Amino acid sequence: MLYIGADHGGFGLKEKIKEFLTTAKIDFTDVGNYKLDMKDDYVDFVKKVAKGVKMDLKNNKGIVICRSGVGSAGTANKYDGIMAVNTNTATMAQKAREDNDANILALGGDYVDPSTA
């Protein structure tokens, strides 16, 4: 299962990624936020994504999105079994998966174009 979550800084990008996943018929679970809330905190959604991925480290993956992706990656990496990477290109993400067994992709809503994500 793919888990996806974002705070207000990544909400718009998350919604675009969800459209792509739905069109591509890729199963995912959205752990929030479900509405744009300028007072929410990425930490809450990173925790939910990390817990989802940890339920099956072999098969589950995650995407977390905040303004830069840096805070989300750092927070996710505090969980045992999680290897989160903050990347801005598909090649970097692929290499992180292949070389480092990354299981969570952290994206920056302010820096990553939906077509790249």
Which residues are part of the catalytic machinery?
66
Q: Which residues pair with 84 in a beta bridge?
A: 104
The answer to whether 75 and 42 have CB atoms below 8 angstroms apart is yes
| Cis amide leading into 33 (omega within 30) | yes
Rounded to whole angstroms, the Cα distance separating 109 from 117 reads 10
User: Residue 90 has what DSSP assignment?
Assistant: H
The answer to whether 90 and 82 have CB atoms below 8 angstroms apart is no
